[in-house]
Structure 1
Amino acid sequence: MPPTTAPTGDPTRSEFDKMVAGEWYRYRHGPELAGMTTATQRACREINETYASDPDAALALFRELVGTVGDGVDFRPPVYLDYGSQLHIGDGTFINADFLALGGGEIVIGKNVLIGPSARLYTPNHSLDPQHRLEGYERVEPIVIGDNVWLGGSVVICPGVTIGAGSVIGAGAVVTKDVPAGVLAAGNPARVIRTLA
């Protein structure tokens, strides 16, 4: 559920500073944000196009774009990011095709995570207040995915969610709240189906 506190306008701070602090910001009013997302999307297009002829060069470009990338990380294009610097990926993680990480919230993906095709990780929330939405207010919340998690195909992870180590999220699940470690969760909204041995 989106935060309900009213946004406040602080003209002394940039919209980017407010965003990374997890405060309300106006995503369509900060010129630095538009520039960052445009540059990131351009870099994603280059990575996706390069992969077909030179996967190693594409991985090198991906490493330059993303905040941190561990050893042995592998991916399949296309990838789509808003702010590469906010994404952190642990050793041995595999990201399948059509991966989308949206918004400026921090996303931390642990070690040896398997991410199925068409996964969607969303960090922004818009205001519930209609006037604040018209004014362009948004607030991000981090996503944390623990070590050795498997996200099935077309999984959606909503803002502020943490998935515990060793858990499996079934294909097509929409994860709206935290998932504990060592469980199978599935459905829309996702719920724990059983504990994994």
Structure 2
Amino acid sequence: MAQSSYDKMISGDWYNALTPELDELRMAARKAVFAHNQCPPEDRGGMVPELAALFMSVGEDCLIETPFHTAYGCNTVLGDGVFFNAGVAILDSARVTIGSRCMLGPRVQIYCADHHRDIAKRRAGIERALPVTLGDDVWIGGGAILMPGVTIGAGAIVGAGAVVTKDVAPMGRVVGSPARPI
């Protein structure tokens, strides 16, 4: 039996991102994100129910400021006490796991998609997705970018504006582009 585009996507195989199946999932995410971003602050709480229902799982006491964006949402796991500041974007074509008490600064971006190097395949929407994992108590500074496949160890700090292309050790600190330990 042939695997669906979604099955290929979450398994890390090369897949076509331009299919009706994935379009439907992205549309569901857009609707939930719209509901969250347009909800009056006094009615939103930590996040609107539509957004909470979209995620794979959500811990207790999470707060997502607006604006927020996610590509799918259904591949994202939030631990307890997670905080996203304004402008966080998660392109979760693979599993994104955010540990408990993680703090993401304004405009942090998490990317899972790894587009094909062959131009013709890239034009055809062929890509693969690599998971991104944040351990507990991680702090990601504003404007940082986490690239596909990275793991940020528990207690680590990623400096503002860093571009993380490699794993960060637990309790590690990285800055720069590409990010390097300090």
1:60 corresponds to 2:49: yes
User: Equivalent residues in 2 for 1:170-185 (5 A)?
Assistant: 170-185=159-174
Which is further off, 45-54 or 109-118? Answer: 45-54
Deviation at 1:50, TM superposition (A): 1.0
The match for 2:178 is: 189
Report the Cα distance in structure 2 between the residues aligned to 1:76 and 1:179, rounded to whole angstroms. 26
CA distances 1:28-73 after superposition (whole Å, capped 9, x unpaired): 1x21101110121121011111143412384333211111110111
Maintained 8 Å contact 2:72/2:92 = yes
Partners of 1:60 and 1:135 lie apart in 2 by: 35
- Retained in 2: the 8 A contact 1:50–1:58? no
Q: Read off the aligned partner of 2:116 and give its amino acid letter.
A: S
Alpha-carbon distance in 2 for matches of 1:12, 1:105: 19
- After superposition, the C-alpha distances for 1:88-123 in whole angstroms (9 at most, x for unaligned) are 010111111111001411000001111101010000
Q: Which residue of 2 aligns with 1:116?
A: 105
AA matched with 1:24: W
Q: Is the 8 A contact 1:51 1:77 kept in 2?
A: no
Show the 5 A alignment for 1:16-95: 16-28=6-18, 30-56=19-45, 58-95=47-84
* Structure with greater Cα Rg: 1
- Amino acid in the other structure paired with 2:66: P
Higher mean C-alpha deviation, range 145-154 or range 38-47: 38-47
- In structure 1, the residue matched to 2:3 is 13
Letter in 2 for 1:17: D
* 2:138 corresponding residue in structure 1: 149
User: Could you tell me how far 1:165 is from its partner in structure 2?
Assistant: 0.6
Paired residues in the alignment total: 182
Alignment RMSD (CA, Å) = 1.4
In structure 1, distance between residues paired with 2:42 and 2:82 = 22
1:129-186, Cα deviation, whole Å (9 max, x unpaired): 1222122210000000011010000110000000001111000000001010112100
Equivalent-residue separation in structure 2 for 1:55 and 1:108 (angstroms): 23
The TM-score, its normalising length taken from structure 1, stands at: 0.88
CA, structure 1 residues 60+134, in 2 after alignment: closer, same or farther (shift >3 Å)? closer
Q: 1:45 is paired with a residue of what secondary structure?
A: helix
Can you give the 5+ residue segments of structure 2 that lack an aligned partner in the other structure?
A: none
| Identical-pair percentage | 37
Match of 1:7 in 2: none
Report the CA distance between 1:20 and its aligned residue: 1.2
Runs of 4 or more, structure 1, over 6 Å off, are none
Give the 3 Å change call, closer, same or farther, for CA 57–121 of structure 1 in structure 2.
closer
What is the aligned partner in structure 2 of residue 107 from structure 1?
96
Alignment partners' CA distance in 2, 1:62 and 1:180: 31
* Contact persistence 2:45–2:63 (CA under 8 A): no
- Where structure 1 has 5 or more consecutive residues not aligned to the other structure, the ranges are 1-10
